[in-house]
Amino acid sequence: MRKKWALNLPWIMMIASLLGFSFFYLVPFFVSFLYSIVDNPINREFCGLSNYKQLLQNSYFMRGLKNTALFMAVSVPLNMVLSLGVALVIRNIKSYSNYFSLIFLIPLATPSATSAFFWQNFFGLHGVLNKYLSVFHVDGIDWLNSKYGMLVMVIIFIWKNIGYNMALFLSGLSSIPEEYYECADVEGAGWGWKLKHITLVYLSPTTFLALIMTFVNSFKVFKEIYIITGEYPPDSLYVLQHYMNNMFLSLNYSKLVSATYILTATIVLFVVCIFRAERKFSDHLHY
Amino acid sequence: MRKRRKVFLALLVCMSCLLSACGKAGGETNIDQNTEQNQTDASEEKDIRNDIQEVQEYVQPEMKGEITISCLSENEFLSAAAKQFMDLYPDVTITINASEAGTVEEYQTYLNTRIMSGKAEDIIFNSFLPMAKYSEMGVFEDLNKYISMTPEFNDENYFMNVLQAARQDGGEIYMIPYMASFSVIGFSDGLLEGQTDIRSTLETWEKAGFSQSVNLVRQLVTETEKKNVFLIHSNELSYTNSLLGDSLEKFIDVEERKVYLDNTEYIDLLNAVKELSAQDLFGSNVSFYNEDYSFAISKDYDVQAAYYCLAQDSDQTYCMPLMDAKGNVVINANYCIALNSASGNKDLAWEFMKYLLSEDVQTLPSLHGLAVNRQGFEASVARYHTFYENNNSGIEEAEYGALLAGWMEQVNSCDLVDPVIWDLLNAENEKFFSGMQTAEQTAKNLQKQIDQYFNE
């Protein structure tokens, strides 16, 4: 009896969570599809896939999509590499390593409005960065409203999220047995060899988790950018969430839902690819 | 294998159904060919409908049920009217959902969610909402039907020109004002001393455009030997808004969704305003009521402007309603109400809207402006006359009322420009006036932002 209960308990707990998820997310998401095939939610005249077609022909939507893809392509791998680097350095620090970890975790606890205010004052035309640069006789640049806008967005994202991935990697690193490194030392292996053949191999499950979380968190940079630049940011900072937010404000739910479906399809495709890659990598892994 | 084939076929059928509806663009030629015929049919249908409406008699609904009202903030006038209505019809409950959200943006988000879920309130009080966009989306009921079926709505009882000021080009009326508020331009009596030409020009005017007025008296300000003379009591931003209000269509074509701000004309406009400010022609830092200062022109609100225009000891003269580039005298849309097209009890809601416009409510002291009901208007005039007569200027109530009534008769439009456009203009123009960016950059940013707003 006790054995049966123990077997069923995870399922019971899963069902409770799944019900909540379905009720608040999954069902509304599928129901909202109806909005994407009508001209507008008030007239509700069936229009097939014309909303999707219009979206793919809309230059602003395409710009948002392109910027979002570019931002992710740059920021996600960069954040992964930097956070792993920080985790490795902190792990090798003999004393006060906890304090260093804390420093990197501070941005996570900083409210978005506060960090937005800070970055606005840092990158603004009359901001701190330009004041420093003026010492070297460099003319002031409105960083957010220039071709460097995307770079600013990447910096803000990495500043905010590096601590999170670092914590994940630190936890993954602590689970790698020290004996492997000792054995490699005895065999005369160098730092690079140990990183490639021990650290990265045994960190692969953590790396996979960190990758998914970074990908999800990359959508959250919108909050800071929105606070700094508002609904109509410079071209280089315009991401898909701007488009969706503006569609909501202008009551264009049909386009909003269509855009959501296109974005979801892209995300699902990406996540499926990561899962497949991870499975293949795990299959070929020889511990 | 068979199962797979069935699933494939089912998917194919679904896709073809969806794609067939998608072929709207492909069917444009057919649509074009049929457009003329459709338009004729539509106009005939409209005529028939109008005939039916004329014949239709209004039947009052059963005065029972709940009416919900959405507004940005608590409104004394609305609360009092609701209470009176519920006392009159005890089976009717009126729920006023004043937004708890602090900002207009938050209120708009709340209202959008309600509208899209089909749960918006029966009556919506406008507060900086994109009413034109809402109307275009079909959020509001066309009130023509109700207005035509309400015999009380006539010129004898109402300023019908004000009541129908929000009429669209197609004839639809999606909102009606419960009070009128418009801007008035006045000229400095002292500065016009001896200026017979200008005086004779002003005597022929019944309404005035902003730029037209500025151009008329601009030279007098720089040439006068009097001290403490300003062009207008304004700051750079509001002066620019007044100029834009006068010629907005030149820069922004709302109907065609086109923007023409990234040009020398707009850049020159911004630079000209900055130059006027540099010449210290805007008296934004001095008190409007301080008689030591005089303003060549003054832009004021209706009831106050009328009083100061008549007061002998005031410097204002030749006051007249402000008109836009098309010659329209425009009222503020923030005092308009609309009926939700998805409301379950439109007739009952209309009964309350009608009640808001009735003499019983329009005479309430909590109506802070000019009533659209003529009896209410008389009450407004009496109230404001008493208020301003504390200054003992000896102005007759009849004289004051006649001036305001004359202005009211000139109203023929409602400001339906999307508040988002003004917000964008203000945000960028402010950056220019505070020295954060050049006029060229401002024009470029605005061009991009407003174009994006239209075509996103």
**DSSP code per residue over B38-94:** HHHHHHHHHHHHHHHHHH----PPPS-EEEEEEESS--HHHHHHHHHHHHH-TTEEE
Give dist(CA A190, CA A187) in Å, integer: 9
What residues of chain B lie within 8 A of the CB of A248, using their CB?
Answer: 109, 112
Mean pLDDT for B193-216 is: 92
Q: How far is B270 from chain A (nearest CA, A)?
A: 21
What is the average pLDDT value for chain B, to the nearest integer? 85
Contacts of A270 (CB under 8 A, 6+ apart): A215
**Best residue in B31, B137, B142 for a mutation probing chain A (most A CBs within 10 Å):** B137
Q: Nearest-CA residue of chain A relative to B21?
A: A48
pLDDT recorded at residue B378: 97
Tell which CATH classification among 3.40.47.10, 1.10.3810.10, 3.40.190.10, 3.40.1160.10 matches the domain B183-329+415-455.
Answer: 3.40.190.10
Domain assignment present for A173: yes
Q: What residues pair up with A172 in beta bridges, in sequence order?
A: none
Q: Residue A69 is part of a domain; what is its CATH number?
A: 1.10.3720.10
Mean pLDDT for B313-330 is: 90
Give dist(CA B120, CA B341) in Å, integer: 10
Kindly tell me the sign of the dihedral angle through the C-alpha atoms of B89, B91, B92, B97.
positive
Please state which of the ranges A3-7, A35-39, A180-184 shows the lowest mean pLDDT. Answer: A3-7
- Asked whether the domain spanning B183-329+415-455 has the same topology as the one spanning B65-178+332-390, the reply is yes
| Residue B12 predicted with pLDDT over 50 | no
Give dist(CA B174, CA B168) in Å, integer: 8
Q: How far is B362 from chain A (nearest CA, A)?
A: 33
Please state which of the ranges A49-63, B24-38, B307-321, B325-339 shows the lowest mean pLDDT. Answer: B24-38
Choice between B358 and A232, residue whose per-residue pLDDT is larger: B358
pLDDT above 70 as % of chain A: 98
Under the banding of pLDDT at 50, 70 and 90, the label for residue A39 is confident
Under the banding of pLDDT at 50, 70 and 90, the label for residue B249 is confident
Domain assignment present for A4: no
Q: How far is A257 from chain B (nearest CA, A)?
A: 12
Q: How far is A272 from chain B (nearest CA, A)?
A: 22
Where in chain B are the domains? 65-178+332-390, 183-329+415-455
pLDDT above 70 as % of chain B: 87
What residues of chain A lie within 8 A of the CB of B108, using their CB?
Answer: 249
| Residue B144 predicted with pLDDT over 90 | yes
pLDDT recorded at residue B56: 60
CB-based contact (8 Å) between B101 and chain A? no
Q: Of the candidates A230, A238, A226, which has an alpha carbon nearest to the alpha carbon of residue A59?
A: A238
Contacts of B250 (CB under 8 A, 6+ apart): B260, B265, B325
* Interchain pair A43, B138: CB under 8 A: yes
pLDDT recorded at residue B74: 86
Domain assignment present for A130: no
Domain assignment present for A152: no
pLDDT recorded at residue A140: 84
CA R_g for chain B = 26
Q: CATH for B65-178+332-390? A: 3.40.190.10
Q: Each residue of B23-35: pLDDT tens digit?
A: 333 333 333 434 4
Q: How far is B18 from chain A (nearest CA, A)?
A: 4
Mean pLDDT for B112-136 is: 89
Domain assignment present for A239: yes
Domain assignment present for A182: yes
Q: How far is B400 from chain A (nearest CA, A)?
A: 43
Could you say which of A46, A49, A60 has the minimum Cβ distance to residue B455?
A60
Could you say which of A53, A125, A232 has the minimum Cβ distance to residue B449?
A232
Mean pLDDT for B158-168 is: 95
| Residue B118 predicted with pLDDT over 90 | no
pLDDT recorded at residue B36: 45
* Token pair belonging to B59: 């039947």
| Residue B17 predicted with pLDDT over 70 | no
Please state which of the ranges A93-107, A253-267, B68-82 shows the lowest mean pLDDT. Answer: A93-107
Choice between A281 and A165, residue whose per-residue pLDDT is larger: A165
Choice between B364 and A284, residue whose per-residue pLDDT is larger: B364
Rounded to 5°, the CA angle B70-B76-B78 comes to: 45
Under the banding of pLDDT at 50, 70 and 90, the label for residue B14 is very low
Q: Each residue of A192-217: pLDDT tens digit?
A: 999 988 999 899 889 999 998 998 88
Could you say which of A46, A235, A248 has the minimum Cβ distance to residue B112?
A248
Could you say which of A41, A43, A60 has the minimum Cβ distance to residue B452?
A60
Chain A residues bordering chain B (beta-carbon distance below 8 Å): 37, 40-43, 46-50, 53, 58-61, 125-126, 142, 145, 230, 232, 235, 243, 246-251, 253
| Residue B5 predicted with pLDDT over 60 | no
| Residue B3 predicted with pLDDT over 60 | no
The answer to whether the CB of B329 falls within 8 A of the CB of B159 is: no
DSSP state of A197: I
* Interchain pair B22, A125: CB under 8 A: no
Rounded to 5°, the CA angle B47-B50-B56 comes to: 145
Give dist(CA B450, CA B456) in Å, integer: 10
Rounded to 5°, the CA angle A86-A194-A85 comes to: 10
Mean pLDDT for A89-98 is: 85
**Count of pairs with CB atoms under 8 A, one residue in A, one in B:** 75
Please state which of the ranges A36-45, A257-266, B28-37 shows the lowest mean pLDDT. Answer: B28-37
Domain span at residue A69? 50-107+159-283
What is the average pLDDT value for chain A, to the nearest integer? 89
Please state which of the ranges B4-18, B52-66, B394-408 shows the lowest mean pLDDT. Answer: B4-18
Q: Nearest-CA residue of chain B relative to A145?
A: B445
Contacts of B237 (CB under 8 A, 6+ apart): B426, B429, B430, B433
Q: How far is B341 from chain A (nearest CA, A)?
A: 9
What residues of chain A lie within 8 A of the CB of B116, using their CB?
Answer: 41, 251, 253
Mean pLDDT for B61-66 is: 92
| Residue B291 predicted with pLDDT over 80 | no
Mean pLDDT for B173-199 is: 92
Mean pLDDT for A232-243 is: 90
Could you say which of A42, A126, A145 has the minimum Cβ distance to residue B137?
A42
Mean pLDDT for B372-397 is: 91
* Interchain pair B23, A246: CB under 8 A: no
